[in-house]
């Protein structure tokens, strides 16, 4: 008998995306460009994070027509975003046939206390995290993939680096704890105990972990890969740059050849201007997307 | 006896899982991203991942021809999921880059989107009575195969495991489960080639 929507199948799709780049797209044309450039998946949106930031107001799930039109032209997996805690948006996305749901801080949260019970769905979920405790809480709720949050729509990699270093550092710390100290560590990190024990055994998260939020150049992507992530999300970084086609290709190559500085030098040439960047301290605290999520 | 070194195409996808399975079976592994890394291999695995991404990077880094030459020499190659698409001579409704090595027609995402992805027990004649738990993720299957292709397993009347000379291909993901029978089978192909 065939069993659909099992944990192995949900987690498995993320395994297949590893070493790849997931690109934000808002139109079928952009989806074709992304696939042509070698993206391993696309995220179907109405606006990229930089435009969501600029527009202000409440950001919601995209119009199903936008998502469906992108699904129609793509042979690679299509992801879509639901608001934190908005399980009905997630139900809608599942019924549309989206391949992955991002319960995302880029949209305005629908619930300021609770996330979606992701175990109830057949479609897999990816969630953002800034530290190990947050990552393991999301996995406990059923996320089959994690991405560190960074600060979306800024073209500034500093927060992505901070969050990846934090998660990796905490994994190394937990790995070296004697067993009797794990319960207290779980309490302090606000992490589910069983999952923390698992991390201590594996020396990594029990699911695939991508980097996101501010990646704008091939070198940014390679930096995140060398820091230990499994793959890259690029949001505004591609279609807010001068030459999206060349930049998309270069970021795909950089994610594969992240350890080869000669290739990185070659592919970083003549890409035109990157997206305009934002200094994190110039963002008002209430505008920071990374603080959304509980 | 000399050690066996299996290359695992590491452009994108679940290459680390294949390496782990092969290592448990006693083989040494090498990640392949550039042509010069292919030298001296006893076998090659093309993992699951996104076949369009792999195809683009195979072209961009000039791996296509050297792998075809390896194949011609008779070096065993094992492709899983996206790897099946890379091995096929014909892909339904697509003109994407592939290695074009096996006389099979393959359809991409043929079981449907991710919500249709599934696990199922299949039976493989070579492995006897004990069922094999196969994980299908947006999986392809073989629509038709030439007489020279040996069909090793089907599911729901669709061909999902096949061999043609030095090529072995599965629509599912043996690297995601603990069952090592397929990796062992491939390593036997490598041993008899050596």
Chain A closest-CA separation from residue B126 CA (Å): 21
The pair phi, psi for residue B106, each rounded to 5°, is -120, 140
Question: Residue B113's pLDDT is what?
Answer: 96
Retrieve residue A256's tokens: 């594969």
Q: For residue A79, what are the CA distances in angstroms to A45, A67, A261, B113?
A: 9, 9, 31, 11
B53 CB neighbours in chain A (<8 A) are 20, 38-40, 76, 252
Q: Which among B137, B175, B176, B179 is the top mutation candidate for probing chain A, defined by the most A β-carbons within 10 Å of its own β-carbon?
A: B137
- Give catalytic status of residue B81 as yes or no: yes
Q: Is A2–B118 a contact, with Cβ atoms under 8 angstroms apart?
A: yes
Residues of chain A with pLDDT under 70: none
Residue B70: CA count within 13 A, CB half-sphere? 25
Rounded Cα–Cα distance for residues A245 and B82 (Å): 24
pLDDT at site A80: 98
Q: What CATH code is carried by the domain that includes residue B86?
A: 3.40.50.880
Rounded-to-integer distance, Cα A193 and Cα A274, Å: 42
- CA-based end-to-end distance of chain A: 38
pLDDT in tens, A65-117: 999 999 999 999 999 999 999 999 999 999 999 999 999 999 999 999 999 99
From chain A, pick out residues whose CB is under 8 angstroms from the CB of B11: 19, 256
- Residue A150, helix vs strand vs coil: coil
Q: Is B115 on the interface with A (CB under 8 A)?
A: yes
Query: Which one of B53, B60, B132 makes the best mutation probe of the A interface by having the most chain A beta carbons within 10 Å?
Result: B53
The total of structural domains in chain B comes to: 1
Predicted TM-score (pTM) of this structure: 0.96
Question: What is the ipTM score, two decimals?
Answer: 0.95
Contact B120 A3 (CB under 8 A): yes
Query: A249-268: per-residue pLDDT in tens?
Result: 999 999 999 999 999 999 99
Candidates B8, B9, B32, B22; CA nearest to B186 is B22
- Domain extent at residue B139: 5-193
Residues A147 and A51: their CA atoms lie apart, in Å, by 21
């Amino acid at each position: 008998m065939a069993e659909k929507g099992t944990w192995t199948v949900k987690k498995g799709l993320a395994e297949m995306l590893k070493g790849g780049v997931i690109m934000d797209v808002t139109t079928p044309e952009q989806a074709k460009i992304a696939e042509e450039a070698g993206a391993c998946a696309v995220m179907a949106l109405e606006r990229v994070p930089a435009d969501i930031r600029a527009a202000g107001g409440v950001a919601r799930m995209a119009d199903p027509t936008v998502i469906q039109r992108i699904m129609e032209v793509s042979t690679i997996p299509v992801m879509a975003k639901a608001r934190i805690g908005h399980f009905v948006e997630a139900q809608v996305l599942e019924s549309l046939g989206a391949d992955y749901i991002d319960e995302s801080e880029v949209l305005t949260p629908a619930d300021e206390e609770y996330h979606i019970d992701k175990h109830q769905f057949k479609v897999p979920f990816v969630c953002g995290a800034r530290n190990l405790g947050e990552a393991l809480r999301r996995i406990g709720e059923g996320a089959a993939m994690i991405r560190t949050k960074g600060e979306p729509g800024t073209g500034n990699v500093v927060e992505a680096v901070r969050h990846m270093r934090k998660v990796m550092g905490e994994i190394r710390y937990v790995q070296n704890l004697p067993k009797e100290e794990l319960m207290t560590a779980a309490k302090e990190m606000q992490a589910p105990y069983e999952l923390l024990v698992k991390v201590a055994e594996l020396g990594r998260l029990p699911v695939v972990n991508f980097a996101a939020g501010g990646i704008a150049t091939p070198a940014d992507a390679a930096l995140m890969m060398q820091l230990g992530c499994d793959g890259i999300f690029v949001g505004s970084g591609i279609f807010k740059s001068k030459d999206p086609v060349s930049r998309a290709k270069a970021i795909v190559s950089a994610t594969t050849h992240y350890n080869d500085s000669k290739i990185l030098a070659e592919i970083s040439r003549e890409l035109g201007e990157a997206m305009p960047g934002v200094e994190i301290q110039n963002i008002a605290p209430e505008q920071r997307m990374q603080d959304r999520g509980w | 006896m000399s050690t066996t070194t299996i290359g695992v195409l590491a452009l994108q996808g679940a290459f680390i899982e294949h390496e782990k399975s092969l290592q448990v079976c006693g083989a040494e592994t090498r990640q392949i991203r550039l042509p010069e890394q292919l030298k001296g291999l006893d076998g090659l695995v093309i993992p699951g991942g996104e076949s369009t991404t792999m195809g683009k990077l195979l072209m961009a880094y000039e791996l296509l021809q050297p792998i075809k030459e390896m194949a011609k020499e008779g070096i065993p190659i094992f492709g899983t999921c996206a790897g099946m698409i890379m091995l096929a001579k014909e892909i339904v409704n697509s003109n994407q880059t592939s290695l074009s090595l096996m006389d099979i027609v393959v359809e991409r995402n043929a079981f449907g989107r991710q919500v249709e992805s599934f696990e199922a027990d299949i039976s493989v004649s070579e492995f006897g009575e004990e069922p094999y738990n196969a994980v299908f993720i947006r999986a392809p299957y073989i629509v038709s195969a030439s007489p020279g292709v040996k069909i090793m397993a089907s599911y729901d009347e669709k061909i999902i495991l096949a061999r043609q000379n030095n090529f072995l291909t599965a629509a599912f993901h043996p690297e995601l489960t603990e069952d090592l029978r397929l990796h062992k089978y491939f390593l036997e192909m490598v041993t008899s080639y050596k």
